[in-house]
Structure 1
Amino acid sequence: MTRLTGQPFAINPDLIERIESTPDTILVLMDGTRYLVAETLSEVVALVQEYRAAIVSRALHPPEPSRPELSSVVLPLPTRPQGE
């Protein structure tokens, strides 16, 4: 998101209760906090949709391990000595 001063900031879209457009775009969070942003209502909705689609996509198609040789390594878990 972008403040009207031009400063970018990130916000958790799960905390957005509603978006007002009067004509400024205001994000109203669940706790009542309000943020005035430069994006339009439709831009905010599109950004939230893209964010959620990316989460679903990553869940359905996890990235390949960056070091495949480590993906096949099995490390034993420590065990308790008998009698404890």
Structure 2
Amino acid sequence: MIKLTRLNGKPFTLNAIYIEQVESFPDTTITLTNGKKFVVKESVDDVNLKVRNFYHSVNVLGLQNDTEGSSL
């Protein structure tokens, strides 16, 4: 889950797995796989970073390079 902020300032969490696209219209609009849209205060780059960090935290993107080769 990622923490985001609606335009009215209200924070909420969103399951990043369901994000299909993130666009700027100029407000950042997130479209989910079911077609639902959210407009948020965060920039597209900020949302992308949050999604990437979430994927790393649940190991969707695999191990980071600095941990490869270490013994477990």
- Interval of TM-score (by shorter of Structure 1 and Structure 2): 0.7 to 0.9
User: Which has the larger strand fraction?
Assistant: 2
Deviations 1:7-66 (A, max 9, x none): 11011111111011111100001111010000000000000011111112xxx7xxxxxx
SS of match in other structure, 2:57: helix
Matched residues in 1 for 2:45 and 2:34: separation? 23
TM-score for the superposition, normalised by structure 2: 0.74
Matched residues in 2 for 1:31 and 1:37: separation? 18
Please, which runs of 5 or more residues in structure 1 have no aligned partner?
A: 61-84
Q: What is the match of residue 31 of structure 1?
A: 34
Pick the structure with greater CA Rg.
Answer: 1
Matched residues in 2 for 1:33 and 1:54: separation? 25
Would you identify which runs of 4 or more consecutive aligned residues in structure 1 move more than 6 Å? Answer: none
- Counterparts of residues 1-84 of structure 1 (less than 5 Å): 1-56=4-59
The percent identity for this pair of structures is: 37
Matched residues in 1 for 2:12 and 2:33: separation? 18
Matched residues in 1 for 2:33 and 2:17: separation? 9
Please, which runs of 5 or more residues in structure 2 have no aligned partner?
A: 64-72
